[in-house]
Amino acid sequence: MRGLVVTGTDTGVGKTFVACLLVRFLRAQGWEAGYLKLVSTGAPRSEDLAFALAAAGLAQDPALERTLAPYSFPLPASPHLAAEQAGATIEPARLHAALAAAGRLFPFLVAEGAGGCLVPLTRDLLLADFLAETGLPALVVARTGLGTINHSLLTVEALRRRQVPILGLVFSDGPSAPDALLAEDNPRTVAAFAQVPVLGRLPPCPAQAAADQAFAPIGQRILQALGSER
C-alpha cells in the first residue's frame, strides 16, 4: 500500500482540512487518491470522512463509510475514553484491516489520525505506536501561532523515537492569521531545531477555490517529498 498518514501537534490544528486538500490536489494531478479516518470522536458518524469524501468528489456510500471510518464515537474525547464510554474497545487489527481494505480501493491513501500523535487508542496503545506498525510516513500539521514550537518539536521527537518517517510539517493558520512576526519565525525555528522540512503554510481560506490555490505549492512539495512515481 502506498500512502501517508496525516497527524497533528494537537486537536483542532487543521489535520482534516489539510488531508482533504491533499486528496483533492492528488486527484487533480491524476492520482487515484482516497481518504481514511482511523478514529473519529464527537459524533456517531465520522463528520471528517463525510467532509473529505465531499471535498474529493467521492460517493457517500454507507458500505464505504464502514471501511473508511472503522471507528466513530459520539463523545468528544480521546479515542480510548470515547470508545470506553460507547462500550467498545479499539482493536489495532481492525485498524490494520481497514488500511488494507482502503489500500485496495485507492492506489494512494491519505489516512488521518485523531488529535495529536500521542493520544491513546486504548489504555496500553498510543496512536504513534500504531503508526509505527503501519510503516507509513507522517505528514505533521501544526498551528502557525503561539505555542507551536513546543508542540511541534515534541511531536517530531515522539515520531522519531518510534522510527516513523516524517515527510515534513505543514503549518495551518486556522480561521484567522496569527501575529505576523510569529508566523514568520515559528516555522523557521521549528525547522532549524527539528531538522524536518517545512512544506508550507496554509493561510485562512474562506472559500474552496482560495484553499486549493493556497495549497497547490504545498502539494507540489509533498509530491517531491514522496517522489513523483504514482
User: Measured on CA atoms in the order 43, 48, 49, 53, is the torsion positive or negative?
Assistant: positive
Residue 222 to residue 170: CA distance in whole angstroms: 10
Does residue 15 carry a catalytic annotation?
no
Place of cell 527539528: 194
Contact 59, 28 (CB under 8 A): no
Catalytic residue among 37, 80, 143, 201: 37
Percentages helix, strand, coil for the chain (3-state, rounded to 5) are 45, 20, 30
Residue 33 to residue 22: CA distance in whole angstroms: 9
Residue 136 to residue 167: CA distance in whole angstroms: 10
Question: Which amino acid is present at 80?
Answer: H
User: What is the per-residue burial (b if ≥16 Cβ within 10 Å, else e) of 180-211?
Assistant: eebbeebbeebeeebebebbbbbbebeeeeeb
148-161 helix and 127-134 helix, angle to the nearest 10 degrees: 50
Residue 73 backbone dihedrals phi, psi, to 5 degrees: -130, 145
Here the cell at position 183 is 508566523
User: Which SS3 state, helix, strand or coil, does residue 83 take?
Assistant: helix
**Active-site annotation, residues:** 37
